[in-house]
Amino acid sequence: MLAPMAGITDWPFRLQCKRQGADVLVTEMISAMGLLQSPKGNLAYKHLLSFHEEETGLIAQLFGKDPAMMGEAAAILDALPQYAGIDINFGCPAPKVTGSGGGSALMKDLPLSRRIVASVRRAVKKPLSVKMRLGWDPSSVNVIDFAKMCQDEGADLVTVHGRTRQQQYSGKADWAMITKVREALDIPLIANGDVFTPGDALDILSVTGAAGLAVGRGALGNPWIFREINQALSGETPARPDPDTVLKTALAHLDDMIAFKGEYRALIEMRKHFAWYLKGSPGAARTRALINTTEDLDALRTIVRSHFEVPAH
């Protein structure tokens, strides 16, 4: 599964991951309040709800702290045919979200979180999943109680990122703790945190016994990780993509982004993706600097091509 990432998991990126074998895709997080209160036709929400017809197994992720609003927004998403299920975000560490009591801050308030899950469950006919961290900080790790609460309120699946809110993305994800959560539940669990290679994927599955795994940062500029994980799972030796494949994928991603957001936004938004596609290849820093200063799409394509193309002899 491709883990939800705000600012990243829009359909042009999800499509690359789908084509490389990600079974389940998750949208960027969608604010319940924003969905309900933004003017009809609001571009940001039009973008958040956009999808590509190849995207099967697409899950909409919702966040918010008001149970009634969460239910109302979930009903809207549930009725949209592009979504195979709804996910509730209890993991976001961003101060903008936790500052007002949302995202991972809700893990500190089990009764309110229970009302949110119950309200969304009543509103949603499709499968419902819940994504969470281990807890707020090391002294308040409550993921087992939290996940059980979700199960009691009718969630079909949970995804656990093996870090507390306080850790943000630092330290190592605690896979042993994910195992304890899995053991305490009857519903399936997706393990998440620090899968960067096919070997990590095999390890997280064998350590946790999870039903599946979610990859976030490991997929940045690297949608091939899903193909490689599937190869490793079926006992094959995972094959890294050659430079020509990386080039073609990066340029197809750019074209999709242009179709999605127009030329100017695509130029800006693709800078980070190109930096990730370049990562680890010779001359990456120089090419990245060129990409970040060009304002012209044809020049951008030329820069990327000359970085990846092997000179003819």
Ligand X SMILES: Cc1cc2nc3c(=O)[nH]c(=O)nc-3n(C[C@H](O)[C@H](O)[C@H](O)COP(=O)(O)O)c2cc1C
Determine if 145 is a binding residue for ligand X (CB under 6 A).
no
Mapped onto helix, strand or coil, the DSSP state of residue 30 is strand
CA–CA–CA angle 104, 60, 195 (5° rounding): 60
Determine if 73 is a binding residue for ligand X (CB under 6 A).
no
Closer CB to ligand X, 203 or 297, in the complex: 203
Distance CA 174, CA 313 (A): 50
- The answer to whether the beta carbons of residues 150 and 189 sit under 8 Å apart is no
CB of 222 to ligand X, least distance (A): 11
Size of the site for ligand X (CB under 6 A): 22
Token pair of 189 as six digits: 């669990």
Q: With residue 154 as reference, give the H or E element that holds it.
A: none
Closer CB to ligand X, 73 or 303, in the complex: 73
Q: Quick one: the chain helix, strand, coil %, rounded to 5? A: 50, 15, 35
Q: Please, where are the H alpha helices in the chain?
A: 11-19, 32-37, 43-48, 67-79, 95-98, 110-123, 143-152, 175-184, 198-208, 224-233, 243-278, 284-293, 297-308
CB of 139 to ligand X, least distance (A): 21
- The answer to whether the beta carbons of residues 28 and 6 sit under 8 Å apart is yes
Binders of ligand X among 102-131, rule CB under 6 A?
131
Phi/psi for 83 (5° steps) reads -100, 135
Closer CB to ligand X, 20 or 192, in the complex: 192
Among 16, 20, 31, 61, binds ligand X (CB under 6 A): 61
CB of 298 to ligand X, least distance (A): 29
CB of 131 to ligand X, least distance (A): 5
Binding mask 184-213 for ligand X (x = CB under 6 A): --------xxxx------------------
Phi/psi for 215 (5° steps) reads -115, 125
Determine if 177 is a binding residue for ligand X (CB under 6 A).
no
- The answer to whether the beta carbons of residues 254 and 230 sit under 8 Å apart is no
Of 141, 139, 183, 148, the closest CA to residue 162 belongs to: 141
Determine if 284 is a binding residue for ligand X (CB under 6 A).
no
Among 14, 115, 121, 161, binds ligand X (CB under 6 A): 161
- Cα dihedral sign, 86-92-96-99: positive
Determine if 221 is a binding residue for ligand X (CB under 6 A).
no
CB of 195 to ligand X, least distance (A): 5
> Which active-site residues does the annotation give?
92
Distance CA 191, CA 16 (A): 22
CB of 186 to ligand X, least distance (A): 23
Q: Which residues pair with 135 in a beta bridge?
A: 141, 164
CB of 61 to ligand X, least distance (A): 6
Closer CB to ligand X, 88 or 254, in the complex: 88
Determine if 92 is a binding residue for ligand X (CB under 6 A).
yes
Q: Which stretch binds ligand X (CB under 6 A): 37-45, 86-94, 264-272, 288-296?
A: 86-94
Closer CB to ligand X, 1 or 254, in the complex: 1
Q: Which stretch binds ligand X (CB under 6 A): 84-92, 111-119, 146-154, 239-247?
A: 84-92
Residue with smallest beta-carbon separation from ligand X = 216
Residues found near ligand X in the complex (CB under 6 A): 3-8, 28-29, 61, 89, 91-92, 131, 161, 192-195, 215-218
